[in-house]
Amino acid sequence: MRTRRGHCYPEVHMFCSQKRRRDFSGDNMIRRKRQKASPVTAGKSDLFDSLPDDLVLCILTKLSCTAACPADFINVLITCKRLNGLGLHSMVLSRASPRTFSVKAKNWSESAHRFLKQCSDAGNVEACYTLGMIRFYCLQNRGSGASLLAKAAIASHAPALYSLAVIQFNGSGGSKNDKDLRAGVALCARAAFLGHIDALRELGHCLQDGYGVRQNIAEGRRFLVQANARELASVLSSSKSSSLTGTWLTWNPRDRLVTGTGCPLLSDFGCNVPAPEAHPASQFLSEWFAARRGSSGPGLRLCSHSACGRPETRRHEFRRCSVCGAVNYCSRACQALDWKLRHKSECVPMERWLDGEGDADEAIDGDDHVVAQS
């Protein structure tokens, strides 16, 4: 073949084209295609994808029910995209245990808030209660917090019923005139019927003192004895009781005051067993306000019972000890627990502690509660 000027084109050998053709259509390319389409390799990579969603949801639901901490559940969510999508299914979140979303106060963030909101929207009553307590007391969103607590209370959640009773007794989030003692007693009675120990104790003191209900000393004492019995049963059924020796159940009438970390009211019977673990919501409140120097605002105090964590929403909302005036409590149940646990050995009478900061009817007579508990 020649050009227009008559020159011949140089000869082109077919070696390069043949070599290039072998590179793209030779045995190597065929071998690579066979490796990608190999049924053995595909079977290994698609084994998890072949599992039905119902089975994976069942496994994730069991995991959320038994998780000991949030990390146990979150580590599964970040494994792959499919587990993340199925792990946030409403069926999985509705069955999550309180430990699954028991976030520490120092780790509180918008993502933790959003996760708790997803659990509560899925119908998880524990998440409704925890988020309600955080919003009502920590974030000071009273309306939203109270509505979440009411949502959990409608589902017969005993701690939510008792928390609403404390709010009604103190008029929390409002003024002193917003107290509703009858509503508090009714909520407390419902929680006590469900077996809530603090509600049983609070209802017993209300009946003994005639606070919001007609006085009935015998019935009130029956509720207090029942609270002690339920407390003993809960401690014995907990995991901590497995490490106890047989020497804790001893009667020592001369040493009625047992100090330390033992269960406070069971010391009346000579028992010294581990105290029940506080609810994650109460632990969050205690950590939240401890990081803020133990106050939710200027002039506001916390409940002196260490396992409670509730703060005042207005000045002089909680009652103070009538003997020393150095401690204050959100409820009679917290006062009775703290008296046996700590305050009985620390209470020292003070003259004229009512210096105009509170009214005389805001005091708690610690001695009367000791008689009720003994």
pLDDT digit string (tens) for 258-287? 444 445 455 444 455 556 678 889 999 999
d(CA 31, CA 28): 5
Mean pLDDT of 355-359: 47
As a whole number, mean pLDDT of residues 116-129 equals 94
Please provide residue 171's backbone torsions phi and psi, each rounded to the nearest 5 degrees: 65, 35
The first and second tokens of residue 66, run together, are: 């038994």
Q: What's the chain's average pLDDT? A: 78
Q: Taking each helix axis from N to C terminus, what angle separates 366-373 and 197-209, rounded to the nearest 10 degrees? A: 110
**Most confident range, picked from 150-164, 238-252, 299-313, 345-359:** 150-164
- The whole-angstrom separation of Cα 105 and Cα 127 is 15
Q: What is the mean pLDDT of residues 192-210?
A: 92
Q: CA 275, CA 161: separation in Å to the nearest integer?
A: 22
**Please, how many CA atoms are within 13 Å of residue 22, restricted to the half-sphere of its CB?**
6
- More confident: 212 or 363: 212
Contact 96, 65 (CB under 8 A): yes
Question: Strand 328-329 to strand 319-321: parallel, antiparallel, or no bridges (unpaired)?
Answer: antiparallel
Q: Which residues of 169-178 are buried (b: 16+ CB within 10 A; e: fewer)?
A: bbbbbeeeee
Per-residue pLDDT at 47: 81
Measured in residues, the chain has a length of 374
DSSP for 124-187? -HHHHHHHHHIIIIIS--HHHHHHHHHHHHHTT-HHHHHHHHHHHHHTTTS-GGG--HHHHHHH
Can you tell me whether residue 250 is helix, strand or coil?
coil
Residue 92 has pLDDT above 90, yes or no: yes
Helices (H), 194-329: 197-209, 217-237, 280-290
Please state the rounded mean pLDDT for residues 63-81. Answer: 89
For tokens 């140089």, the residue is 10
Sheet with 328-329: strands ordered across? 328-329, 319-321, 363-364
- What whole-number distance in Å separates Cα of residue 102 and Cα of residue 279? 9
232 band by pLDDT with thresholds 50, 70 and 90 = confident
Residues linked to residue 262 through DSSP beta bridges, in sequence order: 274
Sign of the torsion angle spanned by Cα atoms 149, 155, 157, 162: positive
pLDDT of residue 103: 87
Give ∠ CA 316-185-285 in degrees, rounded to 5: 50
Q: How far apart are CA 374 and CA 356, in angstroms?
A: 33
Q: Please state the pTM of the whole predicted model.
A: 0.75
Q: Give the model's confidence band at 192: pLDDT under 50 very low, under 70 low, under 90 confident, else very high.
A: very high
Residue 59 has, within 13 A of its CA and on its CB side, a CA count of 11
The residue ranges of DSSP E strands in 189-345, in sequence order, are 319-321, 328-329
Q: Where are the beta strands (DSSP E) in the chain?
A: 319-321, 328-329, 363-364
- Our measurement of the distance from residue 188's CA atom to the centroid of its chain's CA atoms, rounded to an integer in Å, reads 20
